[in-house]
């Protein structure tokens, strides 16, 4: 009987630890967004005023084109969420919006987070995605230290 109680107790502890890992997953995605936003702002240094990316909203969507809520550190960019399939956003999509599509991929002990820069428009029910570059951030889980480590972060097409 004592063994059954001990096993149940260990399972409960293990489930609690699994919940913390989900938060680490979101934190890694948010840090990848933060890295990309800092690189974007650095790329606009020295350019004429009026061309900086802080003037308009930048929308975050996940790999399923659904809104992604950013919870990371404060950036100079106005990061917003949008559901591109809702009717109330139709007027904004007619004019076009800038969006970052966040696509995380877990392969073995590496988490690769791809962020693709899109300009999205909609006309007659058809969505058009114009690709403007993106970034790739890779985290690796180190078993000896029990933590995720940033391996690389690379941006293209800024």
What pLDDT does 18 receive?
A: 47
Domain ranges of the chain: 2-45+52-156
For the chain, 158 residues long, give each residue's pLDDT as a single digit of tens.
Answer: 555 555 555 565 555 444 455 588 899 999 999 999 888 888 777 665 655 555 678 899 999 989 999 987 777 788 889 998 888 988 888 989 999 999 999 998 999 999 999 899 998 888 888 988 899 999 999 989 888 999 999 888 65
Q: Helices in 1-157 by DSSP H: which ranges?
A: 2-43, 90-95
What pLDDT does 77 receive?
A: 83
Element (H, E) at 155: strand 147-156
What pLDDT does 41 receive?
A: 81
Decide if 43 contacts 60 (C-beta within 8 A). no
What pLDDT does 46 receive?
A: 65
In the sheet that holds 110-123, the strands lie side by side as 78-81, 57-62, 97-107, 110-123, 126-142, 147-156
Decide if 54 contacts 77 (C-beta within 8 A). yes
């Amino acid at each position: 009987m004592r063994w059954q109680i001990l096993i149940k107790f260990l399972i409960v502890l293990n489930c609690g630890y699994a919940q913390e890992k989900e938060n680490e997953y979101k934190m890694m995605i948010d840090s990848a967004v933060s890295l990309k936003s800092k690189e974007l702002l650095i790329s606009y240094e020295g350019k004429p005023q009026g061309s900086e990316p802080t003037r308009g909203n930048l929308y975050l969507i996940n790999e399923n084109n659904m809104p992604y809520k950013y919870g990371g550190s404060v950036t100079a960019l106005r990061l917003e969420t949008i559901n591109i399939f809702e009717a109330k956003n139709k007027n904004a999509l007619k004019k076009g919006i800038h969006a970052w599509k966040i696509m995380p991929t877990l392969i073995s002990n590496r988490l690769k987070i791809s962020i693709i820069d899109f300009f999205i428009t909609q006309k007659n029910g058809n969505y058009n995605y114009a690709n403007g570059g993106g970034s790739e951030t890779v985290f690796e889980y180190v078993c000896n230290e029990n933590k995720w480590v940033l391996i690389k972060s690379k941006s293209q097409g800024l």
